[in-house]
Amino acid sequence: MAQPPPTNTLPPDYGIDAPGVVRNLFTVTAVGLTLFGTAKAGLWSGVFAHVDFAFTGLSAGLTCGAMGAWMLYDSKIGKLREREALLDHLTWRGDEAVLDVGCGRGLMLIGAAKRLKSGVATGVDLWQAEDLSGNRPEATLENARREGVAERVQVATGDMRKLPFEDASFDRIVSNAAIHNVYEAEGRAQVVRELARVLRPGGEVVIHDIRHVEQLAAGFTEAGLEVKLLGSRVFQGFLALVTLGSLRPNVLVARKR
């Protein structure tokens, strides 16, 4: 009988961000293109004569299709490419205690663990299915096995607004596309206070997110950290315009004195 291949020959699977949003975008694409096709075939002639069904269907279908395709590309290819660039913003000795906040299936966590020789990378998450497909701690640990760093990775269940860790527990904190899932400004301010609390003096933080990064930067400055925002204002302004303010990505790097 054929044996299943050893797990470390399989590639890691970091899931699809916001799977419900991706599904809805492709549903609107299918409906829009059907509307376009049926309008062109004359099925709507005489109905709502003042509505251009072909144009409406085509523009909604193409816009949503492009957004859905971009989200899939980013989950499967884009964010893997960005991970190393984000981690390169921090300094590494190889013995750090690292925390990945909202680690999901371990994209940043495992990238950080690969830079360690003796340290440990800890991922904390609430494992919310609506934020990431297949979001479970077992999936994160399986990805760590597939990437060959299982012995340097651990996961914890917890809310980033009230982290289950002692003060000054970590040398490096990383986070990708996670903190925007805390919808209230006060909740995000709480997250910043928690990250500042669990970071050791001299510790460093890198955060990439699709919005609210400027608020996080202001919070870290208030908590006494040195902060730099690295995102391009032109790119941020362009994306904010085409997505009606929904995407305003930026990268923050901070250091605790």
Ligand X SMILES: C[S@@+](CC[C@H](N)C(=O)[O-])C[C@H]1O[C@@H](n2cnc3c(N)ncnc32)[C@H](O)[C@@H]1O
Among 58, 90, 103, 251, binds ligand X (CB under 6 A): 103
Measured at the CA of 110, the angle between CA 87 and CA 188, to 5 degrees, comes to 65
Q: Please state, in angstroms and rounded to a whole number, the distance separating the CA atoms of residues 58 and 172.
A: 47
Is residue 160 involved in binding ligand X (CB under 6 A)?
A: yes
Q: What is the largest CA-CA distance in the chain?
A: 73
Which range, of 86-94, 126-134, 164-172, 196-204, touches ligand X by CB under 6 A?
126-134
Which range, of 20-28, 122-130, 147-155, 195-203, touches ligand X by CB under 6 A?
122-130
> Helices then strands (H, E): number in the chain?
8, 7
Which range, of 60-68, 90-98, 124-132, 147-155, touches ligand X by CB under 6 A?
124-132
| Three-state SS at 249 | coil
Binding-residue total with ligand X (CB under 6 A): 23
132 or 254: CB nearest ligand X: 132
| Token digits of residue 129 | 């299915």
By CB atoms closer than 10 A (0-12, 13-18, 19+), residue 255 is middle
Is residue 125 involved in binding ligand X (CB under 6 A)?
A: yes
| Three-state SS at 158 | coil
Among 36, 53, 127, 220, binds ligand X (CB under 6 A): 127
Among 12, 19, 32, 102, binds ligand X (CB under 6 A): 102
* Contact criterion met (CB below 8 Å) for 160 and 179: yes
Is residue 194 involved in binding ligand X (CB under 6 A)?
A: no
Is residue 182 involved in binding ligand X (CB under 6 A)?
A: yes
> What is the DSSP-derived secondary structure letter of residue 248?
-
**Cα Rg, the chain, nearest whole Å:** 21
Among 159, 169, 227, 231, binds ligand X (CB under 6 A): 159
Least Å distance, CB 43 to ligand X, is 40
* Contact criterion met (CB below 8 Å) for 213 and 115: no
* Contact criterion met (CB below 8 Å) for 99 and 191: no
Is residue 173 involved in binding ligand X (CB under 6 A)?
A: no
Is residue 181 involved in binding ligand X (CB under 6 A)?
A: yes
Q: Strand 97-101 to strand 170-176: parallel, antiparallel, or no bridges (unpaired)? A: parallel
Is residue 53 involved in binding ligand X (CB under 6 A)?
A: no
153 or 182: CB nearest ligand X: 182
122 or 181: CB nearest ligand X: 181
Is residue 104 involved in binding ligand X (CB under 6 A)?
A: yes
In DSSP terms, which residues pair with 162 in a beta bridge?
159
Least Å distance, CB 210 to ligand X, is 9
> What is the DSSP-derived secondary structure letter of residue 10?
S
| Token digits of residue 194 | 């928690």
Is residue 113 involved in binding ligand X (CB under 6 A)?
A: no
Residues within the interface to ligand X (CB under 6 A): 14, 17, 79, 102-104, 107-108, 125-128, 131-132, 135, 159-161, 176-178, 181-182
